[in-house]
């Protein structure tokens, strides 16, 4: 960082639960879970924050997230993302291994987001967030990851898309109105939810019947591991 370069990242000196409790005051937010090729994003105002069995729950019409704050070892406040002259401030809730448990992005500019954090002490993080986008091959039309999403689109019925990793889970329920391949991802984008599933992530879906007429599909990668992405869908006639 040169002497004239603006500081865009700070470490916040606060506990995760303190900041999570402030999310309802930050306006329209995106809460992001990401890992193993799947990115799950809920968008809207957080209407309530509660605590259930030691986990914090962010709820409301547009949010359904569950977080274990004890796994957060570092919180970074980043203001490097600027689109069409608007700052999209970001909080990264990082784990001991350096990975991000979840992130929060503000959609109403810097001021309402930063004002809620103004009383917190902070130190400069000299690192920069990597905003480059790697070149990726075009999505294979036969990618197994998109099959149940295409079926849901054809059926027109509501499904649940859930993301889970240790310490964080988030879900969305609604109809799939469009499945959009782009930038090497399978994308679903609605007003309050985005799913970005990297092509080649899913080798197969593991089926479990959970109730009459409903089926759970768990994404399995090419190493035989759970991706953390689960669908609750009608029992489609076509197998996945």
The rounded Cα 91 to chain-centroid distance in angstroms is 12
- Same domain membership, residue 119 and residue 85: yes
Nearest CA-CA partner of 234 in 175, 188, 192 = 175
- Same domain membership, residue 98 and residue 15: yes
Q: Does some domain include residue 133? A: no
Higher pLDDT among residues 131 and 95, named by residue: 95
In this model, does residue 4 exceed pLDDT 80? no
From CA 113, how far away is CA 170, in angstroms rounded? 22
- Nearby residues of 10 by Cβ (< 8 Å), 6 or more positions away: 76, 77, 122, 123, 124, 125
pTM beyond 0.85, yes or no = yes
Q: Does some domain include residue 134? A: no
- Same domain membership, residue 116 and residue 16: yes
- Same domain membership, residue 184 and residue 94: no
- Same domain membership, residue 164 and residue 104: no
- Percentage of the chain with pLDDT > 90? 86
pLDDT band, very low/low/confident/very high, at 178 (cuts 50, 70, 90): very high
Under 8 Å between Cβ of 34 and 124: no
Backbone angles phi, psi at 151, to 5 degrees: -65, -40
Find the range with the poorest average confidence among 8-12, 154-158, 204-208. 154-158
From CA 20, how far away is CA 151, in angstroms rounded? 36
- Same domain membership, residue 119 and residue 15: yes
Q: Which tens digit of pLDDT belongs to each residue from 45-61?
A: 999 999 999 999 999 99
pLDDT band, very low/low/confident/very high, at 1 (cuts 50, 70, 90): very low
pLDDT band, very low/low/confident/very high, at 134 (cuts 50, 70, 90): confident
Q: Does some domain include residue 139? A: no
CATH number (domain holding residue 45): 3.40.1570.10
**Mean pLDDT taken over the chain:** 94
Q: Does some domain include residue 79? A: yes
Q: Does some domain include residue 132? A: no
In this model, does residue 22 exceed pLDDT 70? yes
Q: Quote the tokens at residue 210.
A: 């959970």
Q: Does some domain include residue 135? A: no
Range of the domain at 154: 144-234
Q: Which tens digit of pLDDT belongs to each residue from 70-129?
A: 999 999 999 999 999 999 999 999 999 999 999 999 999 999 999 999 999 999 999 888
pLDDT of residue 135: 84
From CA 144, how far away is CA 217, in angstroms rounded? 12
State how many domains the chain has.
2
- Same domain membership, residue 118 and residue 75: yes
- Same domain membership, residue 164 and residue 109: no
């Amino acid at each position: 960082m040169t002497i004239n370069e603006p500081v865009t990242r700070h470490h916040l000196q606060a506990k995760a639960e303190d900041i999570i409790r402030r999310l309802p005051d930050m306006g329209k937010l995106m809460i992001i879970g990401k890992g193993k090729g799947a990115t799950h994003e809920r968008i809207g105002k957080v209407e309530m924050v509660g605590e259930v069995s030691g986990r914090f729950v962010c709820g409301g019409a547009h949010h359904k997230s569950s977080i274990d704050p004890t796994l957060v070892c570092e919180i970074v406040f980043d203001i490097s993302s600027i689109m069409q002259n608007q700052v999209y401030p970001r909080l990264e809730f990082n784990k001991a291994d350096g990975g991000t448990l979840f992130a929060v992005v503000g959609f109403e500019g810097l001021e309402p987001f930063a004002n809620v954090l103004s009383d917190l002490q902070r130190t400069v993080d000299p690192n920069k967030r990597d905003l480059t986008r790697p070149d990726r091959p075009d999505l294979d039309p036969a990618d197994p990851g998109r099959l149940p999403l295409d079926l849901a689109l054809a059926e027109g019925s509501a499904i649940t898309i859930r993301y889970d990793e240790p310490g964080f889970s988030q879900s969305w329920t609604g109809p799939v109105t469009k499945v959009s391949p782009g930038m090497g991802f399978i994308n679903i984008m609605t007003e309050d939810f985005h799913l970005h599933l990297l092509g080649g992530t899913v080798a197969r879906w593991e089926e479990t019947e959970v109730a009459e007429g409903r089926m759970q599909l768990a994404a399995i990668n090419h190493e035989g591991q759970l991706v953390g992405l689960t669908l609750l869908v009608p029992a489609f006639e076509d197998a996945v």
